[in-house]
Amino acid sequence: MIRIICFLFSNFLEKVKIFLKMFIFLRKKVHKKEFICYNRGKVQERIRGVEMRRVIIVGGGAAGMMAAVFAARQGARVDLYEKNEKLGKKLYITGKGRCNLTNNCPVEELLENVCSNAKFLYSGFYSFTAQDVMEFFEKAGMPVKTERGNRVFPVSDHAYDVTEALGRCMRQAGVRVHLCRAVEELLLEEGRVRGILLSGEGIRHSEEGAGTKEYADAVVVATGGLSYPVTGSTGDGYRFAKDAGHSIGETLPSLVPMNAEEDWVKELQGLSLRNVRVTIYNGRKRIYEEFGEMLFTHFGVSGPLILTASSRVGNSLRKQKLHMAIDLKPALTEEQLDARILRDFGQAPNKKFRNVAAGLFPAKLQPVMLCLGGIDPEKKVNEITREERLGFVRQIKNLELTLTGLRDYREAVITRGGVCVREINPSTMESKLTPGLYFAGEVLDLDALTGGFNLQIAWSTAYLAGNAAGAQGEL
Ligand SMILES: Cc1cc2nc3c(=O)[nH]c(=O)nc-3n(C[C@H](O)[C@H](O)[C@H](O)COP(=O)(O)OP(=O)(O)OC[C@H]3O[C@@H](n4cnc5c(N)ncnc54)[C@H](O)[C@@H]3O)c2cc1C
């Protein structure tokens, strides 16, 4: 009996040994990554037997990072190439370092604040709304708050946290980020995109990677526009788009300060005027009118009112000078203002005009207004004629400036113009001309007013592009 048991046991050990060997062999086979070579446009990677679609994202700004997250969440293998040494360089300076990441308003209102090609964004804004963006960041561990004008900011007031949150999402989704890797051109073959060619630019310590080709099933171009080129947005995407057969809508700086002709603006440098009305005329035609806050600079005018105006009058200003009128007392009619001045004059009839008028303006503005007002500042107010007084009233209601041009891209919040949206599918952001090629963010001919709307454009277009590029389609 003991002999039989011993025989069976030894046999059993032998069987276990064989079984273990087979198990290890099979495990190695299954776990081995099999890179199937680039084959007529099909790049397939099998990991544990699962075919993975490969997506390349060009640009690690707002749109690129968001597109990478959603492409990876679709199960694709995602590689993001950013030419800077860090991600989201422009995001750091948005909202004066606080990042106004969206506007907590309904889709219709988002669309109303878009200046170019609003209709194209219908699908994007409805697919990934401002509230979806807020939820996305909350889930990513970055609480948000809504301030005046529905502007949404991180609770921390640090733009840095937006990039951190996106970085966390990318890590969780398995996105591979390649910093200091500038994309030189797209690889285009047989009418579709095959991948990218990396340049040596930005590679600090070695030439490794320079000139190498990376292949993919889909490429998302999220290289931004031309504004604030120090952040890495130097218009490379326009070149890529052109190579792929796309037309580029003429670009110009937008949400940008403006130059003024008059010398006296220099004396007002740094003066901020709240609650003024600005009207801009092209000849006799009124082309812009708004109430709010503006700022004088050494070259001309800036501030929220002026930035918004630039996106409305920028095209006209490129062709000719425009006239701007500032109403310094918009709450009063000319008659009411005249009555007030008359009252001031009556209270101190023997005072010099300069002393009585001083109460009407901030200190910095007084000498300029006295100079432009057409009344001798030393004149006693009881000697001022009715015509002189009414002229001064008109001057206050109508301080005129000549706008000579827009400041350049280095000072522009946004670029107007870009990849023509008629050639892009609005539901997927895929090129209608080059299959597999997607665009997201400021590189597209889309721009909006201040208030978080431009980043909402980046998020929504990136959401569509990432999901579509990462989805398992026909390889
Ligand atoms: C001062 C300032 C303040 C702003 N504040 C706000 C705000 O508060 N709210 C708001 O909604 N909008 C704001 N904006 C606008 C907003 O920042 C942009 O709309 C947004 O950043 C666009 O995102 P994007 O990803 O399309 O482009 P970008 O942010 O410009 O990112 C593009 C990225 O692509 C990289 N890249 C470019 N070419 C290549 C290449 N060849 N290879 C590899 N990488 C490349 C660049 O280095 C860059 O990192 C502000 C803009 C500025 C300049």
Ligand 1 pocket mutation pick from 57, 223, 444, 464 by most atoms within 8 angstroms of CB: 223
Phi and psi at residue 325, to the nearest 5°:
-120, 130
User: What pLDDT, in 10s, does the model give residues 239-296?
Assistant: 999 999 999 999 999 999 999 999 999 999 999 999 999 999 999 999 999 999 999 9
* Atom of ligand 1 lying closest to residue 81 CA: 43
> If we measure between CA atoms, which residue out of 81, 71, 102 comes closest to residue 465?
71
- Indicate if 257-407 has the same CATH topology as 50-253+416-470: no
CA distance 400 to 141: 50
Tell me, what's the pLDDT at 323? 98
**472 has pLDDT over 80:** no
Q: Which CATH class is domain 50-253+416-470?
A: alpha beta
**Structurally, what CATH architecture does the domain formed by 257-407 represent?**
Orthogonal Bundle (1.10)
Tell me, what's the pLDDT at 21? 56
Which residue has its alpha carbon closest to ligand 1 atom 45? 59
**26 has pLDDT over 50:** no
- The answer to pTM > 0.85 is yes
- Percent pLDDT > 70 in the chain is 87
CA distance 172 to 118: 33
User: What pLDDT, in 10s, does the model give residues 146-162?
Assistant: 999 999 999 999 999 99
**25 has pLDDT over 50:** no
> If we measure between CA atoms, which residue out of 226, 148, 184, 203 comes closest to residue 450?
148
**What secondary structure, in 3-state letters, does 412-467 show?**
CCEEEEEECHHHECCCCCEECCCCCEEECHHHECCEECCCCHHHHHHHHHHHHHHH
* Atom of ligand 1 lying closest to residue 59 CA: 34
Measured in angstroms, how far is the CA atom of residue 67 from the centroid of ligand 1?
A: 14
Segment 347-364 shows an average pLDDT of 90
Tell me, what's the pLDDT at 206? 46
Higher pLDDT, 44 or 77: 77
pLDDT band at 41 (very low <50, low <70, confident <90, very high): very low
**89 has pLDDT over 50:** yes
CA distance 10 to 461: 67
Ligand 1 pocket mutation pick from 455, 457, 463 by most atoms within 8 angstroms of CB: 455
**322 has pLDDT over 90:** yes
Higher pLDDT, 211 or 425: 425
Provide the residue ranges of all domains of the chain, joining segments of one domain with +.
50-253+416-470, 257-407
Tell me, what's the pLDDT at 211? 81
pLDDT band at 24 (very low <50, low <70, confident <90, very high): very low
State the chain's mean pLDDT as an integer. 90
Q: Which amino acid is at 426?
A: P
Tell me, what's the pLDDT at 373? 84
Least confident of 125-129, 303-307, 360-364: 360-364
Q: Are 248 and 241 in contact (CB under 8 A)?
A: yes
Measured in angstroms, how far is the CA atom of residue 446 from the centroid of ligand 1?
A: 13
Tell me, what's the pLDDT at 158? 98
**34 has pLDDT over 90:** no
**380 has pLDDT over 60:** yes
Measured in angstroms, how far is the CA atom of residue 224 from the centroid of ligand 1?
A: 5
Measured in angstroms, how far is the CA atom of residue 208 from the centroid of ligand 1?
A: 27
pLDDT band at 415 (very low <50, low <70, confident <90, very high): very high
